[in-house]
């Protein structure tokens, strides 16, 4: 274990490799590295104060997760997701999250209803206040809460990985000022449908919402890239 690195990190018992993996993943998802940007092992060693083994393990992990692209003897770089793939990801999310929404409507209890309604209120307030950051956070919370309530493991795992890949499009889409005007009612309908314990309606609400995300993404990025 490197002595200097001790206590540098939030997660306690994590090994060096796990620590680097987690922080590099976070950095990529947060957009701190541009797509196609090279990830030179030496730089990462310095940046995270870790050994090469740890850095290489992290790159291998993130390559399987689809965040990093590796070419033999030519190194690693941040994978660039093109528009077509981003749209496919939204389609897959629609299929899986609508499934989870239906399950959530079947299983939701009082606590879940309270948490969902609370998120809905936060969203309303964020839109009123024009606070895009708060709205974006509540958006993540809502999708996560629905999947938590569903009790499923497989679908949420897949969705989580896919969402990470799509971060570039999500960030820039959320920039649009009037986007909440469309998405707020959709989100509230998801909340209401799940709280009403109506699986069909919940699945349809989720599908409709992600269909709207699909169209917004497609139109906004149509020519740019």
Q: Which residues bind a copy of itself (CB under 8 A)?
A: 13, 15, 56-57, 60-61, 64-65, 72, 85, 88-89, 91-92, 95-96, 98-99, 152-155, 158, 162
State phi, psi for 76 to the nearest 5 degrees. -115, 155
Rounded Cα distance, 185 and 78, in Å: 35
Q: Which of 72, 98, 97, 68 is nearest to 164 (CA)?
A: 68
Q: Is 56 an interacting residue with respect to DNA (CB under 7 A)?
A: yes
Rounded Cα distance, 20 and 183, in Å: 36
Question: Of 72-80, 84-92, 96-104, 162-170, which part binds DNA (CB under 7 A)?
Answer: 72-80
Tokens of 107: 């299983």
- The site partner of 52 among a copy of itself, DNA, none (C-beta below 5 to 8 Å per kind) is DNA
Q: Which of 134, 89, 105, 84 is nearest to 206 (CA)?
A: 105
Question: Of 71-79, 140-148, 198-206, 217-225, which part binds DNA (CB under 7 A)?
Answer: 71-79
- The site partner of 64 among DNA, a copy of itself, none (C-beta below 5 to 8 Å per kind) is a copy of itself
Considering the complex, state which of residue 72 and residue 153 has its C-beta at the smaller distance from DNA.
72
**DSSP letter for each residue of 50-90:** --HHHHHHHHHHHHHHTSEEEETTTEEEEPPPPHHHHHHHH
* Residue 38 DSSP symbol: E
Q: Is 72 an interacting residue with respect to DNA (CB under 7 A)?
A: yes
Q: Is 1 an interacting residue with respect to DNA (CB under 7 A)?
A: yes
Give the contact letters, 12-51, x = binds to DNA (CB under 7 A), - = no: ---xxx--------------------xxxxx-------xx
Considering the complex, state which of residue 61 and residue 217 has its C-beta at the smaller distance from a copy of itself.
61
Rounded Cα distance, 123 and 188, in Å: 9
Q: Is 2 an interacting residue with respect to DNA (CB under 7 A)?
A: yes
- The site partner of 1 among a copy of itself, DNA, none (C-beta below 5 to 8 Å per kind) is DNA
* 13 CA to centre of own chain: 25
Considering the complex, state which of residue 43 and residue 215 has its C-beta at the smaller distance from DNA.
43
Shortest Cβ distance from residue 66 to a copy of itself (Å)?
Answer: 8
For residue 39, what are the β-bridge partners? 76
Tokens of 33: 């590295």
Which residues sit at the interface with DNA, rule CB under 7 A?
Answer: 1-2, 15-17, 38-42, 50-54, 56, 70, 72-76
């Amino acid at each position: 274990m490197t002595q200097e690195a001790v206590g540098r990190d939030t997660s306690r018992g994590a090994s060096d490799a796990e620590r680097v993996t987690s922080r590099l993943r976070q950095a990529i998802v947060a957009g701190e590295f541009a797509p196609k940007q090279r990830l030179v092992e030496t730089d990462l060693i310095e940046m995270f104060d870790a050994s090469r083994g740890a850095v290489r393990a992290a790159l291998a992990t993130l390559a399987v997760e689809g965040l990093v692209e590796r070419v033999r003897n030519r190194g690693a770089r941040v994978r660039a997701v093109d528009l077509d793939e981003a749209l496919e990801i939204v389609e897959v999310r629609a299929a899986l999250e609508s499934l989870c929404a239906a399950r959530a409507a079947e299983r939701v209890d009082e606590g879940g209803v309270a948490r969902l309604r609370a998120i809905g209120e936060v969203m309303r307030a964020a839109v009123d206040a024009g606070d895009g950051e708060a709205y974006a956070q509540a958006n993540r919370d809502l999708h996560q809460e629905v999947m938590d309530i569903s009790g499923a493991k497989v679908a949420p795992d897949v969705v989580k990985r896919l969402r990470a890949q799509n971060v570039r499009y999500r960030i820039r889409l959320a920039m649009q000022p009037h986007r909440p005007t469309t998405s707020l009612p959709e989100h509230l309908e998801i909340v209401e449908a799940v709280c009403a314990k109506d699986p069909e309606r919940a699945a349809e609400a989720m599908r409709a919402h992600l269909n709207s995300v699909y169209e917004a993404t497609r139109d906004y990025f149509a020519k740019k890239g």
